[in-house]
Structure formats: C-alpha cells, structure tokens
Amino acid sequence: MKKTPAVTRHLRRGATVVIASLALAAIAIAPMSSASTRGSHASASLTAHTTAVKTVSLKGICPNPVKIATDWTPEAEQGAYYQLAASGGTTDTNNKTYTAKLLDPNTGKSTGVKVELLAGGPALGYQQTPEVLATQPSVLLGADDSDTAIATSQTTPVVGIVAPFNNSVHILFWNPAKYSFKSFADIKASGATVLYFSGTEFVEYMAGAGFLSQSQLDSSYNGSPARFVAGGGAVVPQGFATAEPYLYTHETPAWDQTISYMLTSSTGYNPYSEMGEATPTNIKKWGSCFKKLVPMIQQAQISYLKSPSRINNLIVGLNTAYGEVGGNYDLAVAKYADKTMLADRIVSQGPGGFGSFSIPRISTQIIQLRPVLNTNGQSLPAGYNASNVVTNKFINPKIKFRTYKGPYNKTNGVITVKGTAAG
C-alpha cells in the first residue's frame, strides 16, 4: 500500500455513491520501515471458547467452491476470510482470485470443499460488494460495511451474518504540529477543511449531527496525500486507523512526520466494518451451509490475529501476483494493521458470541442514516429496520474473544503516531 490507489482503498469503503468514477494518481514512496509505532504485542493472548473438537465437513452442505467477494484487493482487514484458505492454492492472475482448500480454523484441516476469494475494488471494476452479490449469485458471501448495506438496500439488498470487526475503522487525521485538537468539536471550531469522498456517510452524518460544519467540508478528496503534504498538514482528511497513520508516518517520504487521529466511532456513528453479508436469496438457499460456515469465520478472525504470519505473507504475495492493481501492500502495513485492530478495539468482544451484531446499534444506525440518505436521494421505506440489515441466527454464541492483554489506545480520544522524520 505505497501508492495513492492503496490510500484510496481505505477511504473508498465509506463512499457509496461515486467510487467508480474516482481517478487514482500514483505517488512515489520510500522503502518501508518495519519499526512498530505501538509497542510489542508479543504477550497478547487471544483465545476462543468453542466446543468444536473435530473438523467440520462442508461437503454436500455448501457450494464448492465457497466464493467470497472481498471489498478491495487482499489486505490484513480481510484476515478472517483469508484464514479459511489453505496455503499453496491456485492464483488466477487474470480474474484476481485465490482458490484453495477451505480449512476448519479449529483444526486446520480441510472441510471437504474449496474456498475462492475474489479481490474487490479495481479487480472487480470498483463494484460495491452488494452489487457483486446481486449480479453474481454463485458468490455466496461478501465483505463490506453495514452502512453500505443500508445505503444500497433498495437496489441491491444484502443481510449481514457475521461481524469480524466489532467497531468501525474510520478516522479523521491531522498534523499535531499545526493543530492541538482534543475533540471533534475542536476540529469544527477551527474551521479546518475536512477532506472526504463525496457520498461518504460518516462525514455527512457528522456534519448533519453538528460534529462538523457543512462549510468546512470538501468532497473533492481523491485519496492522494499531495494536498495534505503541500499545505503542511493544514487539511483534515478522512482515513482508516489501520492504514493512513502508518502510511503517512512511514511510507510517504514527502511527509513521514507525526500525525494524530480520532476514531469517528466515538461520535456514536459506528458501522460494522468488513461485515460478512449475503443476499436474502442465498441466505434462504444456503442456510444449512451458513450455520456451519459462520462459526468458522468467527473463529478464523481470532485465529488470524493470534498468528497472522501465514495469511499476511499470502496477502502480500497475492497483491504482487495481481500486479498491485490496488497499490503495493507490504508486510509492514499488514503488521501495523493487525496491531491497530487490537489496540484500537476494532476487533473486540461484542454482545453475544464474538462476531455477533448489536440490534439496537443497527437500529440507531438506520436512524442516523435516514436524513443523509434522504438528502442523497436514497430514501429508506418507513418499515425498514434492523432485521433488514443483519441477523445473528448463524452465530455460535459460545465463541468468545476472551483475552487481549494490551496495550490499548485511547479510543475515545486523540491517538498519535510518531513519524520516521521525527527521529
């Protein structure tokens, strides 16, 4: 993730209107630094409680292969889905897919079927995941954000069935040498320009709810750091906690200075990122499959973060094989993403089993999105509710994200990442 397309990748997931039309301009980036900015997580303990002791067979129960559409080219945020795939599979560099034995993450043994992982974003013509699922019925499952599912529900309905991320990864970030923000209210009071992609729901919600001013919004953002760098960090762009803080502090030689950020989930607008979703038709048709597959995805996220090396190397290798169409993705960024998912509580235990949804939270999100979608001409019907967006019926409530021993960041406040240029 050293080029502008890679930076844009992390921003595009919040934009549900104009993604396909974005022009992506490359920038030059220096060699990666493997230095950690958050300290060692070697003492972390991640465990799951599950009764599974034998390999679960999916043969004759699930389609073969099980096709999963991701929302961008391979990256650490998709670890739960890639964890299902064995190493040594088949890489299709033309169609940007990886096919391998589908492993039970509890045993590491084959389930009797294969999994085919489809790279998204530029690899699928910038189609959003709900559109991919609607137009390709053979794709069983997809990954995307819950607010995207809500925003596109009237044209390409999908239902979330598992949540590998418990909290959103969205952020606003800035140059702390220029601004001493302590809250979103400070950003609003400063009048600083907030760069975002047009149609990005969380930014438009923040303005509508009073966290930002409409007058400071600039929807001309294309993901490039050029404007941030040229202005000495005078603008406040949107981004992802798992990417931009590292990219800007370690892999953008024109900057590589310290940045600070705040998670936008602290405003109360908190969509589920990387939500596993399927069409209502496939949920009905393949319910018995999902009953076995969803608990595997629950466990796969935990197993991935406990030992991410195999999948991180697979992800980096696939990006190279795919010609880096989504931007060069290196191990340093993947490792940073893994640590940040934990330190920022993006992956954490929620209500019920790990990977389950809070129904009241989804109901709140619908209320938050209605005025935004009305403005964008995407109105929701009066009876639209949380049951149209997610279900917990396939979740194994016994699977828990038991222990992560830190360190944690202050997720309701300012988080600062030191740049390599700072010495």
pLDDT in 10s for each residue of the chain, 423 residues: 333 333 444 444 433 332 222 222 222 223 333 333 333 343 344 555 445 479 999 999 999 999 999 999 999 999 999 999 999 999 999 999 999 999 999 999 999 999 999 999 999 999 999 999 999 999 999 999 999 999 999 999 999 999 999 999 999 999 999 999 999 999 999 999 999 988 788 999 999 999 999 999 999 998 889 999 999 999 999 999 999 999 999 999 999 999 999 999 999 999 999 999 999 999 999 999 999 999 999 999 999 999 999 999 999 999 999 999 998 899 999 999 999 999 999 999 988 899 999 999 999 999 999 999 998 888 999 999 999 999 999 999 999 998 687 899 999 999 999 999 765
What's the helix, strand, coil split of the chain in %, to 5? 35, 15, 50
Within a 13 Å sphere around the CA of 48, how many CA atoms are in the beta-carbon half? 27
- Residue-range domains of the chain with CATH: 46-167+272-388 (3.40.190.10)
Whole-structure pTM over 0.85, yes or no?
Answer: yes
Asked if residue 228 lies in contact with residue 237, where contact means CB atoms within 8 angstroms, the answer is: yes
- In whole angstroms, give the CA distance from residue 62 to residue 68: 12
Residue environment code for 264-295, b if the CB has 16+ CB neighbours within 10 A, otherwise e? bbbbebbbbbbbbbbbeebbeebeebbebbbb
- In whole angstroms, give the CA distance from residue 412 to residue 264: 9
The total of other beta-carbon atoms located within 10 Å of residue 337's CB is 26
